Structure 1
Amino acid sequence: MKKILTLVLVSALGGIITLGAYKLFLEENKPIVVTSTETNPAFLPTNNVSNLFNTAENPDFTVAAENTVNAVVHVKNVSISKGQLTLQDLFSGRSPQRAQMGTGSGVIINADGYIITNNHVINNSDELSVTLNNNKTYKAEIVGSDAKTDIALLKIEADEDLPYVTFADSDNAKIGEWVLAVGNPFNLTSTVTAGIISAKARNLDPTGTYAQSFIQTDAAVNPGNSGGALVNTNGELIGINTAISSQTGSYIGYSFAVPSNIARRVIEDIMEYGNVQNGILGISGGALNSRYADELGINDTEGIYVAEVVEDSGAEKAGIEKGDIIKEINHIKVSKFADLTGQINAKRVGDVVTVTLSKNGKLKTIPVTLTRNETYTLPLVGRIKNAKKEDLKKLNATNGVKIIELNNEYESYWKKNGVETGSIITSINDKKINSVDDAQNALKSKSPYEPLRIELINKNGEKERYNFR
């Protein structure tokens, strides 16, 4: 029995020694993995998120919201349109009418009841009403509007001083800054959403005819928010919410606001002059990049390349020339055309802007006085400009506007008939033309079915008449 026990102990001891030697000298070291029966959720529940941050450092939107919601209003637009004609209407000689209603938002900008909103919110209205956040409703009158910037100014006669939002300098708004969008989506009362500024100087015009300069934000904006306020965390107005980029028509994407500096300039012009005093720098061109720079044969890839300078404009008078590259305007870097127009649209005729440009490779800073836009693109013809006395005298004309650029599509036709740049248009649809404003008004009053009739004096001093159907 003793021999059996001794044998067992010796065998066990040998096994332990062998296993220990293997573990110590032969087995590869591997990291220890600790497993747990508990599983972590893929996303943190909302009631736990606050534990991850110091709440004292989180942005506080309460003051901004309180200062804004009562100054944002609901705008209702009722327009009367012709309804479908029935046989009964036909026999009775009636013209059926149908009321259509549109809604949007607006922002009270002073205690007297002036309200800023979008032009598209009030466009074609037969009746306008405004409902405050306290549910009081007032009839609203249109003071003026501007389709280019999509800004309109309304006025209501309230029986008390109204809460209002103050303007901030939208140039000081920074990408990444917290903002609140306040409006009346889905016909609700004032609703607040939060986001950050995603980009500045965004241009949404695919045609490039009018370079816009929107503030882009990811704050939720939906139908009905148009004309509402985009404010900073102090509750100051930095933009008027105008458009959304979405595949559904509702908020899944980004929203865009007219910068407050542009909106403020538009309504100040409307209040002071009755219309918008648009100033221009007087250049055309495009933003530089590697491809465009290669085409032009230059090394610079940043800034606005000046392709053309408008005659008698502030740019020409200040010495800006074709081939110059605009680097800054009002000490703000210019990398795309919307950066430039954003600054110009916030100014009016006669204002002076500071332009930093590269001329022959050397930086130069000059003051430029903005001038009135005296050019217009006339369909089928091309760009026209107010004519000077010497332009008229040259062709023995007593009135008219000067052609400064021919329409590319019809250029060969015009030149074949002796019409070139410098020719004078004297009449459009039998209306005497003295300025580009007259030309625009003549086209506006023309019926869609009416032919375009143009009288002009060509380069040879010959009077000619053209009819286009």
Structure 2
Amino acid sequence: MKRIGLIALAAFIGGAAALGGYKWMEHKNDNLLSFADQQKVLFASNAKISSAGAVDFVEAAAAVSPAVVHIKTSYSGGGERSSSPMDMFDFFGGGGRKMQRAPRAASGSGVILTPDGYIVTNNHVVDNADKIEVILSDRRKVSATIVGKDPNTDLALIKVDATDLPVVKMGNSDNVQIGEWVLAVGFPLDLQTTVTAGIVSAKSRSIGILARDQQQPSEEDFEEYQRTGKMPARAANTSIESYIQTDAAINPGNSGGALVNANGELVGINAAIASQTGTNVGYGFAIPVNLAKKILDDFRKYGAVKRGYIGVTFSTLDADLAEKLNVKDNSGLYVNEVLPGSGAAAAGLLKGDIIKKIDGNIIYDSPDLQEKIGRLSPGDKVELTYSRNGQLKDTRVTLKGDGAATKPEAIAKNGGSASIEKLGASFAPASAQLKNKYGAKSGVVVTGVVPGKIFDSLDISKGLLVTAVNGRPVNSAKDIEAALPQSRNGMTTISGVTAEGKFTYSF
């Protein structure tokens, strides 16, 4: 009997050890998964024919509300910052992005994505904040740090030190249909958790709020085009606007909150309203969750967005523009310019081509293209259908990184060991005050970046603090020159720090 007891005890201990080891490995591998894949572990597959779900919103509201948090931010007094899109956006063009004295405090909303505290919100909710506090559904107040933020999509990912948090299930925004019911959940006007209902009024809506100064070509542009045959160069619009429009009541404070379908699945992140008064008049806009998934995964992996580009500037065709350009098509995207060294140039696209489809999906307006490209990364391929001289043609475009004709990997392979000249940057010794601010013992400040070279390709911008090269502390350009040949296995490593945290690049 004693022997049987020992065997049972040994079996119990072995089983507990195996289960504990499994749980440890499961937690260790969490960060290797995308947010969408990680959530598959949390939610059983529940396929439905329609994204709309039941008409009764009680279950959806009960499931989502605990995982939508109140975000409070504070700012140093006396600074200047641009007003948030939620607060000042005027659908009819007035007001807008005026500069105003920064408030000492502001608030918004956020959506918990994982039990260990990753939370999505808007960039404008946390941008330039000195302190970020998150109030959870159980009234706990916890500090948050920024993992990554992107003004081009108005998305940000923050992290709190907490466990076993409630989570909102990510849905599929491609399945959202115009006319279906949705709920907006957040903390409007500093109220407690508030749920409002409405329908999806439109999809792929661009409202120009993220890049007001990047407009369609002007009358003068078309006059020059007719005179010279060349469309004037315009600043590239890197913002991505393809909003879900809803008439669910959204007000200041809802920024970063959840837009969910009647199944309680997250389909959008509330971002802006159209109003002349600053409060709801029936037009709210949310960032599609399918676009957010890619951006948020990049934040967690790299701390920034790795965005791919086709490499064209374009105008959305309509009857008036087609007449001015003397083209027969009145739908699609008219290519104004193909950037040298871009994926579009390599694929054979030319000025005057009209992009009609991407991966078989018809392109009606710029958001149709921008959102789909915004979900992809440098190196990904897309199938484009375009019209040239009235004939449809197909081509495959390999996306390239922001502003770079060559990807960083190619630069490293072709360039051999790096030098300051190949880095394409200039440096100055960091001041003691700057090093103290970031807790760094060494450092140089990037004072300039050469377009098309390694630092430009890696998105290392002017003003960043570089603390080490190949593991060696650097305090001058001479230190960098001396450290560069000390690479291991042909790889060069650049380390530094920003306001968002430490970074390391290897190439």
The TM-score with structure 2 as length reference comes to 0.60
The question of whether the paired residues in 2 share the 8 Å contact of 1:354 and 1:367 is answered with yes
> Amino acid of the residue matched to residue 352 of structure 2?
G
Distance 1:149 1:190, change over 3 A: same
Residue 438 (structure 1) shift: 5.8
The question of whether the paired residues in 2 share the 8 Å contact of 1:211 and 1:341 is answered with yes
Q: Which has the higher strand share?
A: 1
**SS of corresponding position for 1:363:** strand
Distance 1:144 1:186, change over 3 A: same
Other-structure match for 2:108: 104
Aligned to 1:361, which of 390, 406, 409? 390
Distance 1:442 1:356, change over 3 A: closer
Other-structure match for 2:221: none
> Amino acid of the residue matched to residue 61 of structure 1?
F
Instruction: Write the distance in 1 (CA, Å) between the matches of 2:285 and 2:372.
Output: 17
Aligned ranges for residues 309-458 of structure 1 at < 5 Å? 309-374=338-403, 431=448, 433=450, 435=452
Instruction: Write the distance in 1 (CA, Å) between the matches of 2:449 and 2:323.
Output: 47
Other-structure match for 2:125: 121
The question of whether the paired residues in 1 share the 8 Å contact of 2:449 and 2:462 is answered with no
Question: Quick one: higher RCO (CA 8 Å, sep 6+), 1 or 2?
Answer: 2
The question of whether the paired residues in 2 share the 8 Å contact of 1:400 and 1:435 is answered with no
**SS of corresponding position for 1:348:** coil
Aligned ranges for residues 242-281 of structure 1 at < 5 Å? 242-281=271-310
Aligned to 2:182, which of 179, 185, 196? 179
Instruction: Write the distance in 2 (CA, Å) between the matches of 1:244 and 1:220.
Output: 9
Deviates more, 1:435-444 or 1:207-216: 435-444
Residue 211 (structure 1) shift: 4.9
Other-structure match for 2:248: 219
**SS of corresponding position for 2:256:** coil
Residue 164 (structure 1) shift: 0.7
Aligned to 1:138, which of 139, 142, 147? 142
Other-structure match for 1:63: 59
Residue 203 (structure 1) shift: 1.7
Instruction: Write the distance in 2 (CA, Å) between the matches of 1:172 and 1:442.
Output: 38
Other-structure match for 1:167: 170
Unpaired segments ≥5 residues, structure 2: 1-52, 80-101, 215-236, 412-420, 425-445, 465-507
Instruction: Write the distance in 2 (CA, Å) between the matches of 1:441 and 1:157.
Output: 29
Instruction: Write the distance in 2 (CA, Å) between the matches of 1:432 and 1:326.
Output: 33
**SS of corresponding position for 2:77:** strand
Per-residue CA deviation, residues 402-421 of structure 1 (Å, 9 max, x unaligned), is xxxxxxxxxxxxxxxxxxxx
Other-structure match for 1:301: 330
Other-structure match for 1:198: 201
Residue 204 (structure 1) shift: 2.0
Distance 1:155 1:324, change over 3 A: same
Other-structure match for 1:207: 213
> Amino acid of the residue matched to residue 450 of structure 2?
I
The question of whether the paired residues in 2 share the 8 Å contact of 1:278 and 1:372 is answered with yes
The question of whether the paired residues in 2 share the 8 Å contact of 1:211 and 1:337 is answered with no
Root-mean-square deviation (CA), in Å? 3.2
Residue 68 (structure 1) shift: 0.8
Residue 400 (structure 1) shift: 9.8
> Amino acid of the residue matched to residue 147 of structure 1?
P
The question of whether the paired residues in 2 share the 8 Å contact of 1:221 and 1:255 is answered with yes
> Amino acid of the residue matched to residue 113 of structure 1?
G
**SS of corresponding position for 1:279:** coil
Instruction: Write the distance in 1 (CA, Å) between the matches of 2:266 and 2:383.
Output: 26
Deviates more, 1:299-308 or 1:162-171: 162-171
Instruction: Write the distance in 2 (CA, Å) between the matches of 1:173 and 1:261.
Output: 11
Aligned to 1:155, which of 148, 153, 159? 159
Distance 1:197 1:145, change over 3 A: same
Distance 1:326 1:244, change over 3 A: same
Distance 1:204 1:434, change over 3 A: closer
Residue 122 (structure 1) shift: 0.9
The question of whether the paired residues in 2 share the 8 Å contact of 1:327 and 1:334 is answered with yes
Instruction: Write the distance in 2 (CA, Å) between the matches of 1:197 and 1:436.
Output: 44
> Which structure's CA Rg is the greater one?
1
**SS of corresponding position for 2:170:** coil
Instruction: Write the distance in 2 (CA, Å) between the matches of 1:211 and 1:161.
Output: 33
Residue 366 (structure 1) shift: 2.9
Other-structure match for 2:74: 78
The question of whether the paired residues in 2 share the 8 Å contact of 1:399 and 1:433 is answered with no
Residue 433 (structure 1) shift: 3.1
Instruction: Write the distance in 1 (CA, Å) between the matches of 2:460 and 2:165.
Output: 39
Identity %: 45
Distance 1:177 1:68, change over 3 A: same
Instruction: Write the distance in 2 (CA, Å) between the matches of 1:430 and 1:121.
Output: 29
**SS of corresponding position for 2:76:** strand
How many residues align? The count is 335
> Amino acid of the residue matched to residue 173 of structure 2?
S
Instruction: Write the distance in 2 (CA, Å) between the matches of 1:437 and 1:177.
Output: 47
Residue 187 (structure 1) shift: 1.8
Residue 248 (structure 1) shift: 0.9
The question of whether the paired residues in 2 share the 8 Å contact of 1:261 and 1:346 is answered with yes
